[in-house]
Structure formats: structure tokens, C-alpha cells
Amino acid sequence: MQINKINKITKITKKVIIIAVFIAVTVALSACGATRDTGSKETIGNETANGSSKQTVKIAYLPITHALPLYIENELGKHNFKNIDIELVKFGSWPELMDALNTGKVDGASVLIELAIKAKEQGIDLKAVALGHRDGNVVVVSQDINDTADLKGKTFAIPHRLSTHNILLYQMLKDAGMNFSDLKVIELPPPEMPAALAEGRISGYLVAEPFGAKSVANSTGKVLFKSQDIWEDSVCCSLVLRNEFIKGNNDAAFELVKEYVDAGSYINSKGEKVNDIAKQYLKVEQDVLDLSLEWISYKDLKIYEKDYNALRDYMIEMDLSKNPPPYNDFVDSSLIEKVK
């Protein structure tokens, strides 16, 4: 009885071992196949007509004017891609977008550069490869505010503490001999800001476009300052990529950046499809879009060391970061420098 039982167990064990070996060999073979096919990380792309593989690059974004080159690239530039397909992934908030970027659910993002700097500081290997835009932020206030001093004791909204908007507000107050304790600064989701101003819940705000233009076009707000009046060549949004993607897929990363830069030039030269594409992604009225585009530029999207260092100094001065990464650790201009 005992011996029969042992024999039975031995037979079962043998079967299990045979199945395990079969699975292991199958997995090993398929893994070799995958390595041979892509020569890179897990993303295996679509087959093209000639049988070569095209890699799908996932880029995260929020629906703001500051990410416009991505929309143009996705609609026009993608037809020039040889090695990649682009998939834009829309998010509703910066924390959700950063979570996807930090955990590798996307390969890159158009994002507030301060959030990416903070992630890099915390050990996520990200690289800023281009600016999102130049200028394009405005201080919007209610009609009764005529200078910075009028904001004393009032409520003012920014989207996030880690933002160029917070830094611009800091410098604007400093220029007027004031500081954060002179007003009540709150964080609000950008789409809520125009309504909050119209209803008198806040007296001003500073945020990515087109939310500033919405209040100005409706006459519920006016422009107190443009970003360049406060901080020339301010750095705001950036196209950020995971470094493992750049290193493992350099040709794909270059193609992505090239079409991104070309999209910026297309917007700057007022390409005929800009309005239609922008409205497809932003859902804004034409007058709001016109105003928003009047304030922003997409010319020369390279991140220069002096501009980045100015941002770094602000982040330290404002205690937004103890040790923001130096330019050479965080900014990779090698791709944009190859774009003719």
C-alpha cells in the first residue's frame, strides 16, 4: 500500500518535471526570438508592409496649448515616421500623468518640467529633450486689480506648487516688495480657474493655456503680466523621455523629436491646419485659441543651460527642491541638436 503510493507520487513528480522543462524551453526560445526581433525592451511594434517592425511610442499629455506640438506631430508629422508609431495618452491631472511616466506605462510626456525634475531627484531616470514652448503664461486678474499690490489679502490660484506658475508668482511678488504671506495662494485644477475668477472666489491665477485666455476673451479677467515681463526665457513645459527608451531606441527617439520640432515650426509659421488640430484636442472657441496662440511661441525648443540653471536656482531659493539635478544629468540635447 505504502509502496504503491510512493510509486504514484514518483510518477506524478516525473510528469511535473517534464512539463516544467517543456515550459522553460518554450519560454527561453520565445525570449530569444523577441530579443532578435526588436533588439530592445518590451515594446514590440506593428508589422509594416515590408515585414519590419514599427515601435509604438506612448507619450502622455494634458489637453493644454502648451502641448500643441504633440498634437500636430500626431496628426501630421506621424506620416513621416519610418521606425515608430506614436500613441498619445491623455491624462486629466499632473499626478496621474507623472505616475504613468514614473512607472514606465508611457515612454515620455509633455509635462511641467519641475515635476520631472522632482522625479529625477527621487531616482526616476528621466531626460528632458526639448521645451514644450516658449513664453505663453499670463497672470490673469479680476477687473478691479490694477497692480500687484492690489492683490494683498486676496486669493490667488496656481495649478501646482511644483510649477513655473508658482515661480512666476514668487518673482512677481518679489518685484513688488511682497511675498507669499501677503496673499492666500491655493492650488486649483486649471479648468476650474476661469469660473472661480468669474464668480469672485479668486482674484487672480497663473496657469497653462488656454485657461488664461478663456477669462480674457470673456472679459471676466485681464492680463496683469505676461511671463516674459517677469522672467525672460522662463522654462515651463518640457518633452521628457525615459532614459531607457532613449538608450535602447535612439533612432526612434530621434524621429520623435525631429517631428516634434518640425511641428513647432509649423505652428509658428501659422500652418493652415493648426487651428483645426488644436480645437480637436483642446475644445476651445476660436477667439480663445487666437489669444492663447498670440502669447506663446514654439520657436527654438532646445533647452539652454543658462535657462535651465535659472530655473534650478529658483527651485533651490524657493525650497521646491533640495538638490535639483544639474543640466548635464537631466537635459539631453543630443537629439534636438541633430535636427536640421
Q: Give the residues across from 84 on adjacent strands.
A: 55
CB of 207 to Zn ion, least distance (A): 9
Taking the C-alpha atoms of residue 58 and residue 214, their distance in angstroms, rounded to an integer, is 30
Ramachandran region, residue 158 (left: φ > 0; alpha: ψ -120 to 50; beta: rest): beta
Comparison of 133 and 258: residue with beta carbon closer to Zn ion: 133
Write out the three cell numbers for 106. 508611457
CB of 289 to Zn ion, least distance (A): 16
Taking the C-alpha atoms of residue 187 and residue 18, their distance in angstroms, rounded to an integer, is 61
Q: Which helix (H) or strand (E) holds 93?
A: none
Comparison of 84 and 115: residue with beta carbon closer to Zn ion: 115
Neighbours of 106 (CB within 10 A): 23
Comparison of 110 and 203: residue with beta carbon closer to Zn ion: 110
List, in order, residues 6 or more apart from 1 with CB less than 8 Å away: none
User: Helices 305-317 and 113-121: crossing angle, nearest 10°?
Assistant: 70
CB of 208 to Zn ion, least distance (A): 5
Comparison of 84 and 138: residue with beta carbon closer to Zn ion: 138
Comparison of 84 and 239: residue with beta carbon closer to Zn ion: 239
Comparison of 249 and 264: residue with beta carbon closer to Zn ion: 264
CB of 64 to Zn ion, least distance (A): 7
> What are the φ/ψ torsions at residue 160 (nearest 5 degrees)?
-165, 145
Taking the C-alpha atoms of residue 211 and residue 230, their distance in angstroms, rounded to an integer, is 19
Taking the C-alpha atoms of residue 190 and residue 13, their distance in angstroms, rounded to an integer, is 62
CB of 271 to Zn ion, least distance (A): 21
CB of 193 to Zn ion, least distance (A): 15
Binding site for Zn ion (CB under 5 A): 66, 208, 236-237
